[in-house]
Structure 1
Amino acid sequence: MFDIVHRVAVENTPPEAVFPALTTIDGLAGWWTTDTRGDAAEGGVIEFRFPPGGFDMKVLETSSAERVRWQVVAGPDEWVGTTVEWSLRLDGDWTVVLFKHAGWSEQVEFMHHCSTKWATYLMSLKALLETGTGSPSPRDVHIAHPD
C-alpha cells in the first residue's frame, strides 16, 4: 500500500481552532470545496463534489481536537477504501497539521495528481485559518491540462 503525506504549520492558531475546519460542513467548504454537504459527526458521511465528480467520506474519528479520520466510501476506484487522516499538535505559536491519504493500492499517475491537489488544498486550509479566506473548489489552483 502507498500513502500521500504532507505537513503544514498554521501560525497563531491553536489545534482547537483548526479542528472545526476539518469537522464541520462550513469549515470544510471554506477550504476544500464549496459543494460540501452531509453529516460531519462520527459515523456520518460527508459528500464532497468537484467538477467533474466527487467523493463520499465516512467519518471514522473526530473524538479529540488532535485527530480526524475518514474512509472513502464512494468516488474514483483508486480512492474507495482509502483513508484520510489529520493529526494536529501545538508547537509554540503554530499548529502542525500532519496529513495522510493512506492505502493506495499502487502509485498510478492519478496518485501523483492527487498529491499535488492535496498540497494546494492544505495551503487553502492554512490561508483560511490565518487570513479568513481559503481557495476551495471551484476557486482552487488548477493543475491539470485540459483534455
Structure 2
Amino acid sequence: MPAIKHHAPITAPAEKIYHLLNTITGLEKWLRTEDGWKITGDEQPGGILTFHYKENGFHQMKVVKLKPHETVNWECTSGHPEWLNTTVNFAIEANDDKCMLSFGHEGWAEKTGFYSECHDAWGKYVAEIK
C-alpha cells in the first residue's frame, strides 16, 4: 500500500514538538486558522479530532496513541473516501535540544491525484512544525 513519508530535523526539544502535535493549540500553530484551518474535538486517546479546511470539508481523526515526547498516532474515521481507515503517525527522535520528526500517512489504497496533492500538502505542513 502506498504511504506518504516525510522527515524534518527540528531545533527544538521533544516536549515542544509533542505539544505541537497533540494539542489543539499546538496544532493551530502549524495548521493555522488564517490559512483556513479549524480544529475541534477531544485530544485524549480514544477522542476524535475534527480538521476543517476552508469549505473543502473535513477529516475526523481518532487519537489512537499518545506516548509523551515520542509518538502521536491518529486513524481517519470520517472524511474524504481516500483517507478513510488511513493512519497518520508522528515519531519524535530527540537528541538534546534537536529532534528528527518522522511523519507517515499510511494505508492508502492506491496512488491517485489526490494522494499526490496530500503528499505535497503534508510536506509543506510538516516543514511548518518548529
Tell me how far apart the structure 2 counterparts of residues 25 and 17 of structure 1 sit (CA, whole Å): 13
User: Secondary structure of the residue that 1:17 maps to in structure 2?
Assistant: helix
Q: Could you tell me which amino acid in structure 2 is paired with residue 25 of structure 1?
A: I
Report the CA distance shift for 1:94/1:23 in structure 2 as closer, same or farther (over 3 A): same
Counterpart selection for 1:109 from 113, 120, 125: 113
Which one is further off, 24-33 or 111-120? 24-33
Counterpart selection for 2:39 from 36, 40, 58: 36
User: Secondary structure of the residue that 2:129 maps to in structure 1?
Assistant: helix
Deviation at 1:125, TM superposition (A): 1.5
* 1:33–1:48 CA contact under 8 A, matched in 2: no
Equivalent in the alignment of 1:143: none
Tell me how far apart the structure 1 counterparts of residues 32 and 77 of structure 2 sit (CA, whole Å): 18
Equivalent in the alignment of 1:6: 6
| 1:128-139 matches, cutoff 5 A | none
| 1:1-147 matches, cutoff 5 A | 1-11=1-11, 13-34=12-33, 35-51=38-54, 52-126=56-130
* 2:13–2:96 CA contact under 8 A, matched in 1: no
Tell me how far apart the structure 2 counterparts of residues 24 and 102 of structure 1 sit (CA, whole Å): 22
User: Secondary structure of the residue that 2:90 maps to in structure 1?
Assistant: strand
Runs (4+) of structure 1 exceeding 4 A deviation are none
Matched residues, number: 125
Q: Could you tell me which amino acid in structure 2 is paired with residue 14 of structure 1?
A: P
Deviations 1:8-46 (A, max 9, x none): 0111x1111110111101111111243111001111000
TM-score normalised to the size of structure 1?
A: 0.81
* 2:87–2:105 CA contact under 8 A, matched in 1: yes
Over aligned residues, Cα RMSD in angstroms?
Answer: 1.1
Q: Could you tell me which amino acid in structure 2 is paired with residue 19 of structure 1?
A: Y
TM-score normalised to the size of structure 2?
A: 0.91
Unaligned runs of 5+ in 1: 127-147
